[in-house]
Amino acid sequence: MKQNVEQRVKQRRHWALLAMAPVVLGLAGCGLLGGKGTEQQAKAGDNWTNPGGDAGKTRNSTLEDITPANVSRLGVAWMAELHTNRGLEGTPVVADGVLYASGVAGRVYAYDAATGKELWTFEPNVDMQVNRTVCCDQVNRGVAMADGKIFVSALDAVMYALDAKTGKIVWQVDTKEVKDRGINSTGAPEVAGDVVVIGNGGAEYDVRGYVSAYDIRTGALKWRFHTVPRDPKLGAQDHPDLEAAVKTWDPNSRWDISGGGTPWDALNYDPETGLLLVGTGNGGPYPRSIRSPKGGDNLYLSSIVALDPKTGRVKWHYQETPGDEWDFPATAPMILTHMQVDGQDRGVVLHAPKNGFLYVLDRKTGQLLRANALVRMNWANGVDMKTGRPNLTPQFSDLGTGPKIIFPGTPGARNWFPPSYDPKTGLYIASILDMGNLIFITPEPKDYRRKALNTGSALIFTNALAETMPTLPPPVAAAVKALPHYKDAIANPAKAEIRAIDPLTGKTVWAVPTAGWQDRGGVMTTASGLTFHGSLNGQLLVRDSRNGTLLKTIETGTPIIAAPMTYKVKGVQYVAVMAAWGGGGFPYVPRYSAAYNRENAGRLLVFRLDGKAALPPPPARPALEIAPPPPPQAPGVTQATIGMGRGLFYSNCAICHSNQHRSITPDLRRMSAPTHQIFNEIVMKGLYLPKGMPRWDDLFSQAQADAIHAFLIDEQARTRADEQAKVKAGVAIDAPRAAIMSNF
């Protein structure tokens, strides 16, 4: 596999920064990796057996060696350079002294967990054309392990079973049901008894969501459950439990676009109930008036669905956002635990999806026990506890009636960033975002676009609304200013925090602000009363779990968005975390991020008490220079040509190419003369496909590709003139400017 936007380093350089010591790996016949269908540990201790740490994925550890009293001594044990400038979202796993971590696009690394010695590395052969239909970077959120194997799903939706000792492929399977859709995979597989399960991504494109279960020994497909029904004109549904779901869709729905519902994360096997819980994705296109014109709940969009892992049959479901048209998937991580609820010990699911509620559900039945709002919201004003349905507010949120300012916005009150539940304090600790967005149906024709964005909507986040209002057509701007939530959006655009929340009341016990709305990292807690999380400005932070008091800060020089984890080897407790900026909105690097001024150097960082190793900062990014002069426009280019190119660029290309200073993808306002000369070969013929830049000749005509090029030439000329004027005036050329993010 070749990576996008990075210089491949042929020889991997891993720094083992602690004295190398022999470690007995003990993989052969060990309990954690031996035997089929091995259940996950009930509590995380010396080992951390899945990305969530334990069977409930609480991300809470029973280890207590690192405490509030001694955490000031925490230092670097070892680190590994992963040679990528793309996002790292995974949490490593550890079994019997070996640490396994997933990286960009489904790479897997195995290390001696005490010394950092590399044991093996696996690099999948990824079809990089998949980048056409990946909204949110080349990330991967982790591996599963059982039966002596490590399971990983690569970006192009090929799942691999690797020998845990050697990293060699035992079996592999292409999980794509069809080849002509924008299917991708970024989540961690989940072992559920004798099967390993994986979902798919692509709801913003043209994908019908599904989960697939494979025999952990052979890779044979055991069952597949679709989260969205198929066109009833094709006859009976391809799964018996979809017969009820199809009744909640308009028979004339946009079946050609497929409906979305992709379960790209949030797979939890519950050994107590024997159920597999699946968080399903958002609708596609976003507006229900396009997707299912006559309305309906559109099951099983934005739901938690409990499946029998032996058969794939539905045991219960709870739809968190009926008829979702605001990009509110239920794919945020779930936590399974026990709590005292109304005087009874209940096995519960804690779930805070994008839509702004924190839900408490019964694990056996799906019964709603609590639903508390965490942030401002106007798509609903509460949940009916008898029916479990949200109290929808169509007067504020029906996209079919014009532009709307929706709270929370599509980045979500919560998202993939892992939370933790600390049973000692009873607190749910997580990153929370209180922000909305302007969302409206785009005027372009709604014809199906194969392997392309089919959201049917445009978005402007409330943090940028004031800046972008002057760029809107006057009638649209007037309609937006007349919206009932406009003044609040301007006065209070966004607030991001790490919060400790009582799940039964929704009350915040403590909260600390983060550096900005994009600064929303994962969390891990320990039995000693510590909360660990990272920051985009390149820090690992340790807090007192009771009150949020900051106890320790370690400067890393690399942004941290992934959740930390902890383990013990030979009596020593370690803390590990993946570090690099990326994920949703990856080309928009915030100015406060460490990746703005330093290279976005992907790293695995490991710490211990009295760690003495040095942590070299990533190299500084080169000084910004004025954009080079563009070539002259081709003969016949008009303002209409440039306008067409602008529309095509923002609806297809801007999701990866933000054309912002310090982006981690190429700024196309700064193309060199040789790049301009081969522009057509890159875009239409796939010249840079090995580097991750897909070809577009199946979607764009030659005239359309030429129009995009004309727009970029025009942009480059404008940028150069602007930057020359700034230099003359003594102003930094990267002074902030308004940026419209069309997807996150």
Query: What are the residue numbers of the active site?
Result: 327
Contacts of 458 (CB under 8 A, 6+ apart): 439, 440, 442, 740, 742
Render 117-170 in DSSP notation, one character per residue: -EEEEE-----GGGGGG-TT-S-----EEETTEEEEE-TTSEEEEEETTT--EE
Burial of residue 81, with CB atoms counted within 10 A of its CB: 0-12 exposed, 13-18 middle, 19 or more buried: middle
Single-letter amino acid, residue 678:
I
Contacts of 674 (CB under 8 A, 6+ apart): none
Give the tokens for residue 525: 């807690």
Strands 523-526 and 60-61: parallel
Render 302-314 in DSSP notation, one character per residue: TEEEEE-TTT--E
Q: Are 279 and 350 in contact (CB under 8 A)?
A: no
Q: Are 405 and 436 in contact (CB under 8 A)?
A: yes
Q: What are phi and psi of 195, to 5 degrees?
A: -125, 155
Burial of residue 675, with CB atoms counted within 10 A of its CB: 0-12 exposed, 13-18 middle, 19 or more buried: middle
Report CA Rg, the chain: 25
Q: Hunting for tokens 């760029």 — which residue is that?
A: 471
Report which of 605, 600, 422, 448 is spatially closest to residue 523, judged by C-alpha positions. Answer: 422
Cross-strand partners of 603: 81, 579
Single-letter amino acid, residue 54:
D
Give the rounded distance of the alpha carbon of 658 from its chain centre: 18
Q: Hunting for tokens 């392997």 — which residue is that?
A: 451
Cross-strand partners of 338: 347
Q: Omega into 635 within 30° of 0, i.e. cis? A: no
